[in-house]
């Protein structure tokens, strides 16, 4: 949303304006504001769906073209709550998938996730003292980028398999917290 000049539907535009008004204008640099930005995008998606459902061309016989030849390669890009998903498939002569390559948002955001997790951990741990809620706070740092990670790993919030290693200035492991 930082790169957008507005939204394409009226209610989403109103939510967009409120988002930037409350958060101090454009651009917003608050990592956890990603969740609010997703809500604004979902409002636009819902309004767009209503518009499409009321469009008589949506049921036109020309809406889909059925292939006449066997496809051998298929590539798709889909925007989802966790980010952009890239799919690449190759098939054999019978049309069976023989190769599939998927690049998910977690891979695209890996560097930012690592930086946010490190920043959260360093901000929460002082003099080796770790509060009970530390792992949940660290989990929050990467869920801002990948809210679906729990579903992808079949984990509920607060139950994600996670380990935090705490080192002293000499890089010696002094404590390990394990969750899940």
- What is the percent of the chain where pLDDT is above 90? 29
Q: What is the pLDDT of residues 89-108, one digit of tens each?
A: 999 988 889 999 988 877 77
Res 157: pLDDT: 55
Helix 110-124 vs helix 134-143: crossing angle, to nearest 10: 150
Q: What is the dihedral of CA 44, 47, 49, 51, to 10 degrees?
A: -130
Res 143: pLDDT: 76
Region for 173 from its dihedrals, namely left if φ exceeds 0, alpha if ψ lies in -120 to 50, beta otherwise = beta
Res 154: pLDDT: 52
Give the mean model confidence (pLDDT) for residues 107-127: 82
More confident site: 30 or 155 = 30
- The whole-chain average pLDDT of the chain stands at 83
What are the boundaries of each domain within the chain?
10-58, 67-107, 127-179
Q: Give Rg (Cα) of the chain.
A: 22
Label the pairing between strands 83-91 and 97-103: antiparallel
Q: What is the pLDDT of residues 36-88, one digit of tens each?
A: 998 999 999 999 999 999 998 887 877 777 778 878 999 998 877 677 889 99
- What is the percent of the chain where pLDDT is above 70? 88
Give the mean model confidence (pLDDT) for residues 113-141: 79
Those residues whose C-beta lies under 8 Å from the C-beta of residue 157, and which sit 6 or more positions away, are 136, 139, 143, 150
Max CA separation in the chain (angstroms): 69
Ordered DSSP codes for 44-55: HHHHHHHHHHT-
Helix 10-22 vs helix 33-53: crossing angle, to nearest 10: 170
């Amino acid at each position: 949303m930082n790169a957008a000049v507005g939204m394409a539907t009226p209610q989403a535009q109103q939510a967009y304006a409120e988002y930037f008004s409350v958060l101090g204008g454009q651009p917003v640099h608050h990592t956890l504001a990603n969740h609010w930005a997703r809500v604004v995008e979902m409002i636009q998606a819902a309004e767009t769906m209503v518009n499409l459902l009321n469009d008589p061309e949506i049921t036109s016989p020309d809406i889909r073209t059925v292939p006449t030849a066997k496809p051998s390669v298929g590539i798709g890009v889909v925007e989802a709550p966790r980010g952009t998903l890239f799919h690449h498939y190759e098939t054999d002569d019978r049309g069976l998938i023989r190769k599939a390559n998927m690049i998910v948002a977690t891979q695209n955001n890996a560097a930012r996730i690592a930086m946010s997790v490190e920043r959260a951990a360093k901000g929460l741990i002082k003099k080796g003292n770790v509060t009970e809620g530390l792992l949940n706070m660290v989990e929050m740092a990467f869920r801002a980028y990948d809210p679906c990670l729990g579903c992808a790993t079949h984990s509920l919030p607060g139950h994600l398999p996670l380990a935090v290693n705490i080192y002293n200035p000499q890089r010696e492991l002094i404590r390990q917290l394990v969750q899940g």
